[in-house]
């Protein structure tokens, strides 16, 4: 038995059932790190309650629990009715951060590494029908040089271990996304790949369907009014939609592609996929969506809110999309990891463009406070490299059909000036180009202390992403005028290849409610002045095709002298209320439009 990737989103149809296993689970922290030896995999005693999905960290009032490093254990019972004996049964986890081991009725089902992707276990041979079944999950939040993101462990004088993340956000952990019992037919749809194109006024939907059997496949396409507008047969074909309505930023239109497996006129499985017809291309120094220049306006953000931590919260997600609409944003980068599947579904419906990022953060030398680059470590070029490739595969396989996803970001702020990083990223980006049937552009986020002539990575990408904090971490306050000169020289250098540039991060920590005249750092006035200066610079460079402020909202980080209860660069507070800069951005983004610089 083993756990396996489960990338097809679970949907209820005429032949499929989905049972939600979220809610309160039994929970226990393995303080002595001996849970397996004490038989916790067979069930938990003296446990407490924990909400799923959520991060476990912020539920408690004890600091040692919030910052605990090691395994935390979850347990609950579930039932499977007798009538499902002839069905395929899976238990599916939306994510478990960062490693998970699963037992069903005391039987080990396998292990999964990776904190942001869905995985499943097959239950048919282990489940008891009509009786209680016990599921136990051990989740580890430990990080090292072979995990994504990267980190390390340190032992304290009292014998406890702590996690030292190589990144500037809190290392939330737990069952962060939904757990579901998924019931499908024995012969079923296992994967769908869609590629869309535009020919005149017609839309083209090419599809490739994988099934577990050899029965006939029939495909129908319905418009948003439920009218049949196209159909075809076979596992691979194309459907022409006459006078198609395109998926456009801010004006999304979704067709429903319905797949049926038919055996002697009987439908044995049915699955549907929401499809947006659109094209994506980099041409010269422009990014084109549906052959029209597109200017990215938006944010880097985090899955982060009070109490839930990184656990998916549908209310917060919906509020975030309402704020994106209010502020006239059109795009988001999923910094610094893949988000919950429901986030992408909302983006598809709302017309928000996504730059989808793998969790390859922590390769930066400065923040790690270590003596040498991670690229000097031999294990990084073997185990980490192969795992990085796997996570890129998972990212693209899970999110490939979302029309909102227009670009893949395969790393954030690595130490790309180290000579050993060149071969590493050459392999990563070459591998990434073999995986996406839509051939979406590839990008990365450059660390501001790595100059153009030093960087070994920008040669492999289609779009250069820059993270810049001139006027904040370098030459803030009265020195801001000099910071802008350094920034201008920096931008001129990265403009020499002629590739389009997006600013993935720029911003200043700002304490909500702090007002100063004249402005000082951390005041709301300084944040506005900072953004205005950057925007003038962007407008002066023709090849800058996007601005994504860091950050959408204040978020939690590891404790440290640079952070006051987290990172305060948000345009909104952590409770999703606007700072003064929100109104500045709202006015600018309404004025410049989605085709700025067209």
What is the per-residue pLDDT for 368?
A: 47
Same structural domain, 256 and 332 = no
For residue 109, tell me if it sits in a domain.
yes
pLDDT in tens, 295-321: 999 999 999 999 999 999 999 999 999
- In three-state secondary structure terms, 305 is strand
The pTM of the whole model exceeds 0.85 = yes
- The average confidence (pLDDT) of the chain is 96
pLDDT in tens, 145-161: 999 999 999 999 999 99
Same structural domain, 13 and 60 = yes
Rounded Cα distance, 482 and 479, in Å: 6
Of 128, 151, 184, the residue at which a domain comes to its end is: 184
Rounded Cα distance, 553 and 196, in Å: 34
Nearest-10 crossing angle of helices 524-540, 580-592: 20
For residue 429, tell me if it sits in a domain.
yes
Same structural domain, 271 and 316 = no
What is the per-residue pLDDT for 1?
A: 66
What is the per-residue pLDDT for 562?
A: 83
What are the helix and strand counts (H, E) for the chain? 9, 31
The residues annotated as belonging to the active site are: 413, 505
For residue 428, tell me if it sits in a domain.
yes
Question: 375: closest CA among 423, 411, 430, 431?
Answer: 423
Same structural domain, 143 and 41 = yes
Rounded Cα distance, 448 and 446, in Å: 6
CATH number at residue 51: 2.60.120.260
> Could you please report the per-residue DSSP string of 7-41?
-SPP--BTTBEEEE--EEEEEEE-TTS-TTTTTGG
Rounded Cα distance, 549 and 552, in Å: 7
At a CB cut-off of 8 Å and minimum separation 6, what does 19 contact? 78, 180, 181, 182, 183
For residue 162, tell me if it sits in a domain.
yes
Same structural domain, 480 and 555 = yes
pLDDT in tens, 160-171: 999 999 999 999
Q: Using the predicted structure, report yes or no on whether residue 211 has a pLDDT greater than 60.
A: yes
Same structural domain, 159 and 236 = no
Same structural domain, 201 and 325 = no
What is the per-residue pLDDT for 364?
A: 83
- In three-state secondary structure terms, 109 is strand
CATH number at residue 396: 3.20.20.80
**SS3 readout for 549-560:** EECCECECCCCC
Q: From the centroid of its chain, how far is CA 596?
A: 27
Same structural domain, 415 and 483 = yes
CA atoms 96, 101, 105, 109: torsion sign? positive
- Which whole-number Å values give the CA distances from 387 to 145, 382, 428, in the listed order? 11, 9, 10
Rounded Cα distance, 88 and 182, in Å: 8
Rounded Cα distance, 130 and 428, in Å: 48
CATH number at residue 204: 2.60.40.10
Rounded Cα distance, 277 and 263, in Å: 30
Rounded Cα distance, 78 and 21, in Å: 8
Same structural domain, 72 and 91 = yes
Cβ neighbourhood burial of 354 (10 Å; 0-12, 13-18, 19+) = buried
What is the CA angle 353-550-435, rounded to 5?
40
pLDDT in tens, 467-523: 999 999 999 999 999 999 999 999 999 999 999 999 999 999 999 999 999 999 999
For residue 598, tell me if it sits in a domain.
no
CA torsion angle 8 11 16 19 (round to 10): 110
* Residue 31's pLDDT band (cuts 50, 70, 90): very high
- Given a contact cutoff of 8 angstroms between Cβ atoms, the answer to whether 275 and 401 are in contact is yes
pLDDT in tens, 549-591: 999 999 999 998 889 899 999 999 999 999 999 999 999 999 9
Q: Structural domain tally of the chain?
A: 3
What is the per-residue pLDDT for 214?
A: 95
pLDDT in tens, 443-457: 999 999 999 999 999
Same structural domain, 227 and 352 = no
* Least confident span in 96-105, 135-144, 230-239, 561-570: 561-570
What is the per-residue pLDDT for 365?
A: 58
For residue 55, count other CB atoms closer than 10 A to its CB.
Answer: 27
pLDDT in tens, 213-263: 999 999 999 999 999 999 999 999 999 999 999 999 999 999 999 999 999
Rounded Cα distance, 447 and 421, in Å: 14
Same structural domain, 213 and 316 = no
Alpha-carbon radius of gyration of the chain = 24
- Given a contact cutoff of 8 angstroms between Cβ atoms, the answer to whether 481 and 540 are in contact is no
Range among 63-67, 283-287, 362-366 rated most confident:
283-287
Of 133, 151, 184, the residue at which a domain comes to its end is: 184
For residue 378, tell me if it sits in a domain.
yes
pLDDT in tens, 180-199: 999 999 999 999 999 999 99
> Could you please report the per-residue DSSP string of 478-532?
GGHHHHHHHHHHHHHHHTTT---EEEEE----B-TT---SS--TBSHHHHHHHHH
- Which whole-number Å values give the CA distances from 146 to 360, 422, 467, in the listed order? 11, 18, 24
For residue 512, tell me if it sits in a domain.
yes
Same structural domain, 387 and 479 = yes
Range of the domain at 144: 4-184
For residue 515, tell me if it sits in a domain.
yes
Of 222, 253, 275, the residue at which a domain comes to its end is: 275
- Given a contact cutoff of 8 angstroms between Cβ atoms, the answer to whether 145 and 152 are in contact is yes
* Residue 68's pLDDT band (cuts 50, 70, 90): very high
Rounded Cα distance, 466 and 447, in Å: 7
pLDDT in tens, 378-424: 999 999 999 999 999 999 999 999 999 999 999 999 999 999 999 99
């Amino acid at each position: 038995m083993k756990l396996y990737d489960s990338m097809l989103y679970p949907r209820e149809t005429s032949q499929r059932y989905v049972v939600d296993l979220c809610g309160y689970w039994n929970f226990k922290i393995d303080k002595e790190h001996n849970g397996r030896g004490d038989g916790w995999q067979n069930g938990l005693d003296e446990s407490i309650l924990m909400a799923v999905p959520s991060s476990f960290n912020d539920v408690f009032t004890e600091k040692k629990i919030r910052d605990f490093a090691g395994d935390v254990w979850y347990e609950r019972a579930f039932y499977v009715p007798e009538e499902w004996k002839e069905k395929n049964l899976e238990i599916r986890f939306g994510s478990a951060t960062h490693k998970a081991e699963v037992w069903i009725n005391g039987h080990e089902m396998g292990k999964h590494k990776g904190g942001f992707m869905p995985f499943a276990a097959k239950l048919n041979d282990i489940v008891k029908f009509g009786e209680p079944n016990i599921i136990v999950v051990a989740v580890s939040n430990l990080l090292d040089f072979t995990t994504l993101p990267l980190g390390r462990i340190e032992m304290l004088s009292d014998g406890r271990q702590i996690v030292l993340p190589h990144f500037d956000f809190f290392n939330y952990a737990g069952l962060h996304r939904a757990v579901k019992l998924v019931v499908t037919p024995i012969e079923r749809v296992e994967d769908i790949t869609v590629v869309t194109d535009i020919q005149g006024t017609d839309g083209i939907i090419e599809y490739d369907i994988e099934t577990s059997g050899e029965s006939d496949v029939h495909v129908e396409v319905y418009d948003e009014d439920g009218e049949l507008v196209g159909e075809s047969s076979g596992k691979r074909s194309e459907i022409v939609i006459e006078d198609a309505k395109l998926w456009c930023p801010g004006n999304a239109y979704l067709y429903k592609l319905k797949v049926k497996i038919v055996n002697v006129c009987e439908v044995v499985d049915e699955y549907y996929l929401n499809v947006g017809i659109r094209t994506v291309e980099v041409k010269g120094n422009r990014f084109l969506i549906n052959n029209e220049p597109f200017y990215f306006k938006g944010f880097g953000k985090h899955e982060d809110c009070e109490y839930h931590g990184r656990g998916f919260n549908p209310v917060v997600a919906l509020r975030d999309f309402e704020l994106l609409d209010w502020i006239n944003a059109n795009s988001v980068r999923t910094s610094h990891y893949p988000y919950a599947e429901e986030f992408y579904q909302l983006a598809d419906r709302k017309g928000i463009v996504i730059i989808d990022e793998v969790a390859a953060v922590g390769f930066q030398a400065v923040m790690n406070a270590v003596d040498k680059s991670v690229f000097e470590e031999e294990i990084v070029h073997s185990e980490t490299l192969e795992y990085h490739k796997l996570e890129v595969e998972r990212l693209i396989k899970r999110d490939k059909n979302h029309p909102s996803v227009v670009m893949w970001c395969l790393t954030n702020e690595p130490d790309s000036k180290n000579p050993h990083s060149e071969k590493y990223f050459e392999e990563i980006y070459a591998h990434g180009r073999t995986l996406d049937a839509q051939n979406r552009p590839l990008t990365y986020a450059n660390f501001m202390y790595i100059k153009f002539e030093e960087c070994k990575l920008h040669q492999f990408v289609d779009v250069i992403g820059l993270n810049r904090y001139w006027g904040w971490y370098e030459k803030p306050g009265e020195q801001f005028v000099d910071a802008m000169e350094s920034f201008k020289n920096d931008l001129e250098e990265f403009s020499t290849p002629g590739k389009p540039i997006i600013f993935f991060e720029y911003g200043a920590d700002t304490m909500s409610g702090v007002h100063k005249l004249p402005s000082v750092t951390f005041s709301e006035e300084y944040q506005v002045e900072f953004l205005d200066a950057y925007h003038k610079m962007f407008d002066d460079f023709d090849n800058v095709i996007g601005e994504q402020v860091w950050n959408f909202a204040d978020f939690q980080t590891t404790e440290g002298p640079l952070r006051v209860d987290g990172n305060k660069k948000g345009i909104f507070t952590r409770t999703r209320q606007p700072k003064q800069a929100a109104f500045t951005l709202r006015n600018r983004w309404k004025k410049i439009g989605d085709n700025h610089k067209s």
